[in-house]
A = this chain, B = another copy of it.
C-alpha cells in the first residue's frame, strides 16, 4: 500500500503518532527535494491514492506544482515558535471548489475566523469532477503565504476528508434541476448528507461542530445529525446567518441608522420562504425596532420580502449568486460560536429543537436565537416575546420542517409518514438559491 502525504508547505506535529503506522505500512516515493523525518503521512490520502482516484498524490514527487510534499523537516523550524504554536484546528469543507468556498477558505486561512493565534488545517472535499480545481485552490492558498495555515489536503471521499475534523462546513449540494420539486431535491441531496453524516460519525472528532449550508440546509443537517449518533446533536447547525445579516441591513436602512446599532435579530424556522425574520424582538440602538421604525405595515408586509428577494436581485444584477456575502455569513456563524456573544444580544442559527423552550416540535433543525460562551457550544435564548404575528408564521415554518423530516424519514432511520411534499406546487426555495 502506498501511503502518501499531501501535506502543505510544512506543518507541525498534531498527528505525529500516525507517522509511525504509515511508515510501518511501507511508504514509497520519497521527494528528492525534501529531507528529514517524515512528519505526517495522512492515512486519508493514502486511501484515496490506493484507489487511484487522487493521482496527484501518487505523482507528488515528480509534479512541478510544489503544492504536495511527502516529507517535512520540522527541525528546520524555529523551535520557540513551534513550541508556542497551538494545535491546528482541523476544518473540513465540502463543495470546496465552489464559489462560496473560494471566499470562505481564504477567510479561514487568514486567521480572521478562528483567531489570530489559531493555526488551521484545511481539508477540502470535492468531487472527481472538481479534483483539478481543488488542486488549484490549494495552490492559491499556498501562494498566499498565510502564516496560520499549516496544512491543506484534498479528497473526494468524506471518509478520508473528515478524519479528526474539529469543524465540518458542508457547503456542497446539488442544485435543483429544471422541473424538480422540493421533495426531489430533498431526496437527491439527502443521499449526500447520509454519506457525510456516516463519515462524520466514523472518523471526525466526536466534538466536531457541523454547519450545513447546502440546501435544503435544515433538513440536510437533520439527515447528517441522525446518521452521526456519535456526535452530540447539539453540534449540528444549518446556516440562517445570511438571512439575519440581510434582516439587520434592511432594518438599518429603514431606520436610517448604521447597521451596527441593530441587534437581537432572530430568524425563526426554515431557511426557506417560510422563515420568520423577527422584528418584534429586534432592537435598534437599544430600543425596540418596532418603536424606532414605527411603521407596522412595512414591518409586517415588506420587511420579510426585502430579505428574501435579496438573493434573486443579486443574481439578476451580478449574474451569479452571492458567494462573497454568504462566505462572510458562514464566517460570522463560526465566530459567533468561538467568541462569547455580547451581553444582551444573540445570533440566529438553526439547531436541533430537542428540549427547546418555545414548544417547537422536537427532532427538527429550526433556526432560533442562541448565545455562546465562545467554546463552540450554544444555548437557546429563552423568553422572547412571541406575538400572534410571529406565532402563526413560526407554526407554518415548523409544519414545513416536520413535513420535510417525514419525507426523509427513510434516510434518518425513522418510521415516517407519507411525503406530503411530493406533488407540492408551492415553491419555498429562497430566490437566488437554485
Report A's interface with B, CB cutoff 8 A. 9-11, 33-36, 64-66, 69, 71-73, 76-78, 102-103, 106, 110, 112, 132-133, 135-137, 139-147, 150, 242, 245-246, 248-250, 252-261, 285, 306, 309-310, 313-314, 316-319, 322, 324-325, 328-329, 332
Contacts and interface: CB of A to CB of B under 8 A. Distances in A.
A71 B255 CA distance: 11
Given A9-B249, A72-B256, 9 more contacts: A10-B257, A10-B258, A73-B256, A76-B285, A77-B261, A112-B112, A135-B318, A139-B322, A144-B324
Nearest to A68: B253
Given A143-B249, A249-B145, A77 B10 contact: no
Contacts of A250: 66
Nearest to A34: B256
Given A76-B285, A245-B143, A249-B66, A137 B256 contact: no
Given A248-B145, A322-B143, A324-B106, A136 B314 contact: yes
Number of copies of this chain that the complex holds: 2
Contacts of A66: 249-250, 253-254, 306
User: Across chains A and B, which 5 residue pairs bring their CB atoms closest together, nearest first?
Assistant: A136-B318, A10-B258, A136-B317, A140-B325, A144-B328
Contacts of A150: 258
Contacts of A316: 132
Nearest to A148: B260
Contacts of A249: 9, 66, 142-143, 145
A366 to B, nearest CB: 23
Contacts of A143: 242, 245-246, 249, 310, 322, 325, 328-329
Nearest to A286: B78
Contacts of A254: 33, 66
Nearest to A11: B258
Contacts of A328: 106, 110, 143-146
Given A136-B318, A140-B325, A324-B140, A77 B257 contact: yes
Given A10-B258, A261-B78, A306-B66, A325 B132 contact: no
Contacts of A133: 317-319
A144 to B, nearest CB: 4
Q: Residue among A141, A144, A328, A329 with the most chain B CB within 10 A?
A: A144
A256 B37 CA distance: 11
A165 to B, nearest CB: 23
Given A9-B253, A10-B257, A110-B112, A318 B132 contact: yes
A259 B139 contact: no
Nearest to A66: B253
